[in-house]
């Protein structure tokens, strides 16, 4: 059975050595002393390792079943969900007013990484609820908030997001689900939604569906889309549960992975819904949560990569096969462990340097969301909006690749379900698709975010990298050479790509055909920046006589690996971009 | 349901426009006129599309089952297998003496690509038989050949290869299966073998297991390994089937994919076996078939990529979503087809340029095997030995990535099993692992093949590229710029990497930690060479006034894409390699 150990020490390093959260002026961050976050992470880690992780294989094997219209979750899910609820984990970063603990989002993210790594399919029930609750928090009336939020913060009721229909995913303007206004101010919702994660299950008393639909007679296309609250059971005025709403499960999809999560076809057949936010402003309501939701999916890329990596390392240390070419390392055994072999190490270092870099990137991103929400920091808001497609697209692509690499360490055993490595790749695959497929992230980045506010945010990003390099160079020759120079070169490649887009903007296809490469370049530069910051933090800690020298020295080696072996990808992406859109766009559709 | 169309036209282009097979002096190639190969491919394509392909989903869904010690294949497999046998496809490139058709291996490979693309799991029953028959052909006594080959060439009996044991895969010296000599010259084989593809099933009268085992009292380690023929049913002297041999199925493995193939744990319990080849020379006997077997797996990378690509194209043309940013393309529809979007095209062009390049590479490789076997061409033998790990490692890695990209075109539908795209990725994943995991291929390439015969073969490869460029430059400015110059640059990168290995050979880890990158660089240079050859062949055809102008012009566009957008990867790999082995090797195992 696979293992999972919560990365508490590494998360603490990012929070305190790198981001120095408790010294931040973001409201609430002053409470995030090392002992406090350490205690939270320790407890979360125990729950992840001892309760959620053992159910990961169970969820994959059993999946969810639909019996007489009711979805049954895998054995043990319900009990585990009760434990998560009882520990108060579901409301960690939700307002106290609704029963939450009001901790910063950065803490919720650090905990979320562990829960997802231990059991992604399970954690989605809570994750979707968080997303739906955030939408109600941002756009609901006081009455709606009071009716739904306390129960959703506690996860007594869970939530879903209903966007996709059989004929429309990315292009929601094509939506057919309709909403007919009723005399009492409610709506009758009719239509079919597909790919609804956590769509129905047996772990909650009620399920609060947030459904995008078009109000009859409203504007055409995307401008006529509104958002509705459609509870599985209508909530009576006294808060008790009333009639069953005709919001039913058509079927559970057979998926490649995340079998423990019930991905449903939902049929709404004159179901009672309540407008959330303004009429025809449904997309805007969805978009306000998008940074968070997409950062959450990027986090899943990290989670799966870390879980798979941990197992690959164990196997590489344990499995005896072949001998070290430079001399026998395990003379008493029949062979040396896999980890002596250079290509196995190259594989593991790719994974390790990604996982730790991604963790820093995700937590830095979460801290920007906190700065935007808690401090009203517009620059932070602009920067995280720019970086959100990078976090989502790059981290899920790379996260998936890392699960494939981890599986490869196992050889044939990686292909056998019993060893659990296949599940990591199958589960990780979805994160590249949902919450906006990664090609859509690339389009968002290049087609929208680069030019947003006159290009202010991308300029701010380059300025940030530049000042970081300037402020930290000239102190340590090796650091300059191994960290700052590669970062400078990669950042220069990224700027050159941006320049190419601007200079060739007469045909937008020149930029758009390079968007995916740009997203990946951007991701590498961000991880390069993170590794420079982590490298510097490690040097500082060593200079200050830190006790755990090995930890910091390992960081420096891992960082040097990333800078030397991963960052050069920016040159390749730049070359691809600079070759222009012609080879991509020339062929007729019929010639494919 | 997914589609599959046999790529007959493209295969014909490679065989005749590029490789010009019928003009070759390889014995048997003079028969390969365009009409002849066209007829063979046409028939093979029909069988693939109409018989094998419809069973692909069935195989995945039903899988194989073990009932009372007997393996049942999925519905329809037995009937389809009879059709393949009846058509004489199983002995296409086997000697006439044993009932085969004696066609060149290049034809068998072209047909094999189609069969694998249509149904990889199914085609493996035939493929393993081919491999086992080749081993008997190369190392068997006349009696063994006469006993087994006619039945194996017809696939009345199928074959398996038994190498792996629970504790040893790559490192076969650790093998425990033992062989005890008997008075009658036979051996009693005892041990457990795992991951045995086509290990048992209900489609053949007998199964001929080739089993590696150590003769009791022989040398330690790999030098004590011999190869044995262990039939499921002992063959009587008159050729009839006798006693059931105690070679039994322990279980069928639950795998990530290729469910239609029965991957078995095989238990040999004093089973009767017959020495194949010499005592203690089992590994050598295996190695003589390795080029073919590994080329066959590389071909699976191509097959899965092409099958997935074809479906992605269909979906991209069919699915309406969003509008072309440069102007509406489908004004009468609610949206434009996906294929108008630049990033979808970038994705499809990555796939298309890989598939067509890989097809040329595979067929070129197969023609070298023919030259080595049919003409005794030692240079061809040396070159294909060098390129074999590249074909296997690079084409299966890239082939897998392409199935993932194809799946991505489908968005959420790509994750739902019903659409079939998940199966392509799940099936393609195994090719990176079996027949020597790709890390082992990289090690073989850098640790063994580069230096083989004093580096003669790699020098010959560089010379081949150099002469190709020299012989073909100066005739067409655009061709020089778009094809030859990128090829030259990529080849230079590859040479620089080889030079780095030589100059830093005091520590072998410098080369070995760069082996995977080197394998990928090498693959890109080979595909670059293939694209240059295909580009030139297309220009020649156009200059000669070829009828199907569009076909050749499309080739040129696709080739330009590969040269501009894929070949720059060599620069990244070179940078990774030149960063040296230190960052890879420094950490203690405990620090991972």
Q: What is the pLDDT of residues A523-540, one digit of tens each?
A: 999 999 999 999 999 999
Measured between beta carbons, the chain A residues lying within 8 angstroms of B425 are 256, 429
Q: Pick the catalytic residue: B278, B356, B435, B553?
A: B435
Going by C-alpha positions, the residue among A574, A303, A436, A60 that lies closest to residue B408 is A436
Cβ atoms < 10 Å from Cβ of A266: 25
- CB of A414 within 8 Å of any CB in chain B? yes
- Specify the pLDDT at position B429: 98
Judged by CB atoms closer than 8 Å, whether chains meet at B346 and A321 is answered as no
Tell me which chain B residue has its CA closest to the CA of residue A314: B592
Measured between beta carbons, the chain B residues lying within 8 angstroms of A407 are 429
- CB of B589 within 8 Å of any CB in chain A? yes
- Let me know if A278 is a catalytic residue: no
Closest by Cβ to B169, choosing from A411, A422, A561? A411
Tell me which chain A residue has its CA closest to the CA of residue B220: A334
Judge if ipTM > 0.90. Answer: yes
Instruction: Provide the residue-wise pLDDT of chain B in tens; the chain has 592 residues.
Output: 899 999 999 999 999 999 999 999 999 999 999 999 999 999 999 999 999 999 999 999 999 999 988 899 999 999 999 999 999 999 999 999 999 999 999 999 999 999 999 999 999 999 999 999 999 999 999 999 999 999 999 999 999 999 999 999 889 999 999 999 999 999 999 999 999 999 999 999 999 999 999 999 999 999 999 999 999 999 999 999 999 999 999 999 999 999 999 999 999 999 999 999 999 999 988 887 788 899 999 999 999 999 999 999 999 999 999 999 999 999 999 999 999 999 999 999 999 999 999 999 999 999 999 999 999 999 999 999 999 999 999 999 999 999 999 999 999 999 999 999 999 999 999 999 999 999 999 999 999 999 999 999 999 999 999 999 999 999 999 999 999 999 999 999 999 999 999 999 999 999 999 999 999 999 999 999 999 999 999 999 999 999 999 999 999 999 999 999 999 999 999 999 999 999 999 999 999 9
Reduced 3-state DSSP string for B275-310: EECCCCCHHHHHHCCHHHHHHHHHHHHHHHHHHHHH
> Would you give the end-to-end CA distance of chain B in angstroms?
44
Which secondary-structure segment (H or E) carries A511?
A: helix A508-512
Cα–Cα distance list, A547 to A13, A541, A544, B592 (Å): 13, 9, 9, 19
Tell me which chain A residue has its CA closest to the CA of residue B257: A415
A-B CB pairs within 8 A amount to 258
Q: In angstroms, rounded to a whole number, what is the distance separating the alpha carbons of residues B310 and B288?
A: 35
**Cβ–Cβ < 8 Å for B528, B486:** yes
Best of A439, A440, A516, A569 to disrupt the B interface by mutation (most B CBs within 10 Å)?
Answer: A439
Q: What is the pLDDT of residues A46-60, one digit of tens each?
A: 999 999 999 999 999
- B501 Cβ neighbours under 8 A, 6+ residues apart: B446, B450, B510, B511, B514, B518, B577
Best of B342, B562, B565 to disrupt the A interface by mutation (most A CBs within 10 Å)?
Answer: B342
Best of A346, A425, A485, A519 to disrupt the B interface by mutation (most B CBs within 10 Å)?
Answer: A346
Judged by CB atoms closer than 8 Å, whether chains meet at A430 and B415 is answered as yes
Average confidence (pLDDT) over A567-580: 97
Measured between beta carbons, the chain A residues lying within 8 angstroms of B408 are 432-433, 437-439
Cβ-in-10-Å burial (0-12, 13-18, 19+) of B45 comes to buried
Q: In angstroms, rounded to a whole number, what is the distance separating the alpha carbons of residues B222 and B175?
A: 8
A206-215 vs A157-162, strand pairing mode: parallel
Which secondary-structure segment (H or E) carries A401?
A: helix A378-409
**Cβ–Cβ < 8 Å for B117, B304:** yes
Residues 149-208 of B with CB under 8 A from A: 164, 167-171, 173-174, 194-195
Closest by Cβ to A513, choosing from B343, B400, B508? B343
Q: What is the average pLDDT score of chain A?
A: 97
The CATH label, of 2.60.40.2140, 3.40.50.300, 1.10.10.60, 2.40.110.20, for the domain at A8-287 is: 2.40.110.20
SS3 A240: coil
Across A30-129, where does the E strand assignment appear? 65-67, 70-72
Going by C-alpha positions, the residue among B199, B177, B187 that lies closest to residue B73 is B199
The CATH label, of 1.20.140.10, 3.30.420.40, 1.20.1070.10, 1.10.1040.10, for the domain at A290-436 is: 1.20.140.10
Cβ atoms < 10 Å from Cβ of B495: 17
Q: Pick the catalytic residue: A435, A477, A485, A547?
A: A435
**CB environment A334-361: b (16+ within 10 A), e (fewer):** ebbbbbbbbbbbbbbbbbbbbbbbbbbb
Tell me which chain A residue has its CA closest to the CA of residue B345: A584
> Would you give the end-to-end CA distance of chain A in angstroms?
44
Q: How far is B376 from chain A (nearest CA, A)?
A: 34
């Amino acid at each position: 059975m696979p293992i999972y150990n919560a990365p508490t020490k590494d998360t603490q390093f990012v929070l305190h050595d790198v981001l120095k959260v408790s010294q931040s002026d973001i409201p609430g961050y002053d409470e995030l002393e090392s002992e406090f976050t350490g205690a939270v992470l320790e407890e979360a880690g125990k729950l992840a390792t001892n309760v959620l992780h053992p159910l990961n294989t169970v969820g994959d094997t059993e999946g969810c079943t639909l019996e007489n219209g009711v979805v049954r979750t895998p054995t043990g899910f319900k009990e585990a969900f009760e434990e998560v609820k009882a520990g108060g984990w579901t409301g960690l970063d939700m307002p106290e007013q609704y029963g939450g603990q009001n901790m910063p989002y950065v803490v919720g993210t650090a905990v979320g990484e562990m829960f997802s790594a231990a059991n992604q399919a399970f954690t989605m029930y809570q994750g979707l609820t968080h997303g739906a609750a955030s939408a109600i928090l941002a756009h609901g009336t006081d009455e709606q908030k009071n009716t739904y939020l306390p129960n959703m913060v506690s996860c007594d009721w869970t939530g879903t997001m209903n966007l996709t229909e059989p004929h429309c995913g990315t292009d929601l303007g094509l939506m057919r689900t309709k909403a007919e206004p009723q005399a009492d101010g409610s709506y009758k919702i009719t239509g079919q939604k597909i790919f609804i994660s956590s769509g129905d299950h047996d772990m909650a008393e009620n399920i609060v569906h947030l459904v995008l639909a078009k109000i009859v007679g409203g504007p055409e296309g995307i401008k006529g889309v509104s958002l509705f609250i459609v509870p599985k059971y209508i909530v009576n005025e006294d808060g008790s549960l009333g009639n069953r709403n005709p919001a039913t499960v058509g079927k559970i999809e057979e998926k490649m992975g995340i079998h423990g999560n019930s991905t449903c076809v939902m049929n709404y057949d004159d179901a009672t819904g309540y407008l959330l936010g303004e009429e025809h402003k449904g997309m805007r309501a969805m978009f306000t949560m998008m940074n968070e939701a997409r950062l959450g999916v990027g986090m899943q890329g990290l989670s799966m990569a870390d879980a798979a990596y941990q197992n690959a390392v164990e196997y590489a240390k344990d499995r005896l096969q072949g001998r070290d070419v430079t001399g026998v390392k395990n003379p008493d055994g029949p062979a040396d462990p896999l980890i002596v072999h250079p290509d196995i190490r190259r594989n593991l270092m790719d994974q390790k340097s990604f996982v730790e870099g991604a963790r820093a990137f995700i937590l830095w991103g979460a801290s920007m969301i906190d700065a935007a929400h808690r401090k009203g920091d517009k620059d932070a808001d602009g920067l995280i909006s720019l970086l959100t497609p990078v976090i989502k697209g790059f981290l899920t692509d790379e996260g998936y690749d890392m699960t494939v690499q981890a599986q490869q360490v196992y050889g044939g055993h990686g292909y056998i379900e019993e060893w659990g490595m296949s599940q990591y790749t199958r589960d990780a695959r979805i994160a590249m698709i949902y919450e906006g497929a990664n090609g859509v992230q690339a389009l968002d980045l290049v087609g929208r975010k680069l030019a947003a506010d006159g290009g202010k945010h991308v300029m701010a990003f380059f300025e940030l990298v530049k000042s970081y390099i300037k402020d930290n160079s000239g102190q340590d020759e090796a650091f300059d050479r191994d960290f700052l120079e590669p970062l400078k070169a990669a950042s220069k490649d990224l700027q050159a790509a941006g320049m190419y887009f601007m200079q060739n903007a007469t045909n937008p296809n020149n930029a758009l055909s390079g968007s995916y490469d740009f997203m990946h370049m951007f991701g590498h530069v961000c991880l390069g920046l993170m590794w420079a910051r982590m490298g510097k933090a490690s040097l500082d800690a060593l200079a200050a006589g830190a006790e755990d020298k090995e930890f910091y020295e390992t960081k420096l080696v891992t960082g040097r690996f990333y800078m030397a072996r991963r960052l050069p990808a920016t040159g390749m992406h730049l070359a691809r971009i600079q070759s222009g859109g012609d080879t991509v766009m020339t062929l007729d559709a019929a010639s494919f």
